[in-house]
Amino acid sequence: MRSKWLGALLSAVVVGMVMPAAALAAKPAATTGTAANVTFQGARLNGSADPNKQATTYYFQYGTTIAFGSQTAPVAVGNGANPVHVSTDVGGLAPATKYYYRIVAHNNSGTALGGRKSFTTRKQPLGVSLTATPNPVPFKSSATNLSGTLTGTNNANRKVVLQANPWPYTGGFQNASNQQVTNSTGGFSFPLLSVPVNTQYRVVMPERPTVVSPIVAFGVKPYVKSKVNKHRVKRGHRVRISGSISPAAADQQVAFQKKRGSGWVLVGGAGLHNGRFAKNLKVRRGGTFRVWTGSSAGQYASNVGKKFKIKTFR
């Protein structure tokens, strides 16, 4: 009887010793840290979360006002008894903008809010894009439009100038138009009415900091006029293909091509004299043909004439 009484007493003592330890589990603690790796579009938010011996998750709230408005996805931090350093990267932020943030920790016993802190994203470096539409263009209608966008912080109402470096590209870039001012979103446009030869273009923002666009290679295609003296010929006999190239470079090449499948193959060629050509071509089998021209030195872009059909018979 005495042993049973002692056993019950011992069990009660053990239970009494265990219960206070379990009772130590409580809602978490949260401390907001300093933001790091701040760029013009992102930052790393730091902090610490103390689980207080319960399974705990944390996340960060952030936004451009003290109401925040955005938050990161919850992340488990475990059920330990000590604070754990945590961090989360956020992106898609606006440049040169102040953001408020704080850490939030949560477990079954409650939610803890870290103190509110702030950081300001960096200014976005200026950059400029440039495209030509259409490109290339026929020589007889070489009008085009070069447009682009100045991106970055303070990109509106900035001066930009178009520069050109025509073939053979040895003269260097020179101003090709009057200065323009970018619109409210950084956009600009330079219309060109005539371009005589292949030309490299770029846009420069002359104000500090100087910004230069990538080079756009603009092509001018010579006009190809071609004809064939007959469209039906005995197999293995010749037809006469003639025409003109305008304008023609000193190294202008002329080739006759035949369609094969989805591509074209070389079947002959001709020389130019005063911009004109003529050559007899042996036709073994009928098909669709065309005249191709190109300048190996790069004065003009390549171009082709209208397609024509030749039928053969035995």
pLDDT of residue 10: 46
Is residue 66 within 8 A of residue 116, CB to CB? The reply is yes
The whole-model pTM stands at 0.71
Identify any residues that bridge with 71 across adjacent strands, giving them in sequence order: 61
Task: Say which residues have a Cβ less than 8 Å from residue 156's Cβ, sequence separation at least 6.
Answer: 182, 183, 184, 185, 186
What are the extents of the domains in the chain? 2-120, 127-220, 222-313
pLDDT, one tens digit per residue, over 203-214 is 999 888 889 999
CATH code for residues 2-120: 2.60.40.10
Q: Which CATH number fits domain 127-220: 2.60.40.10, 3.30.70.1520, 2.40.100.10, 3.20.20.150?
A: 2.60.40.10
Phi-psi region of 63 (alpha: psi -120 to 50; beta: other; left: phi over 0): left
pLDDT of residue 89: 97
Is residue 125 within 8 A of residue 40, CB to CB? The reply is yes
Is residue 299 within 8 A of residue 219, CB to CB? The reply is no
In the chain, which stretches have pLDDT less than 70? 1-24
Rounded CA gap, 72 and 94, in Å? 17
CATH code for residues 222-313: 2.60.40.1930
pLDDT of residue 189: 96
Tokens read off for 130: 């440039």
The secondary structure of the chain as a DSSP string is -HHHHHHHHHHHHHHHHHHHHHHT----EEEE---BS--SS-EEEEEEEE-TTS-EEEEEEEESSTT--EEPPPEEEES-SS-EEEEEEE--PPTT-EEEEEEEEEETTEEEEPPPEEEEPPPPPPEE--EEES-SEEGGG--EEEEEEEESTT-TT-EEEEEEEETT--S--EE-S--EE--TTSEEEEEES---S-EEEEEEE-SSSPEEPPPEEE-EEPEEEEEES-SEEETT-EEEEEEEEES--TTEEEEEEEEETTEEEEEEEE--BTTEEEEEEE-SS-EEEEEEEEETTSSS--EE---EEEEEE-
A 10 A CB-CB count for 186 gives 21
Rounded CA gap, 116 and 103, in Å? 8
Give yes or no on whether 2-120 and 127-220 have one common fold: yes
Tokens read off for 99: 């953001």
Angle at 130 between CA 194 and CA 172, to 5 degrees: 65
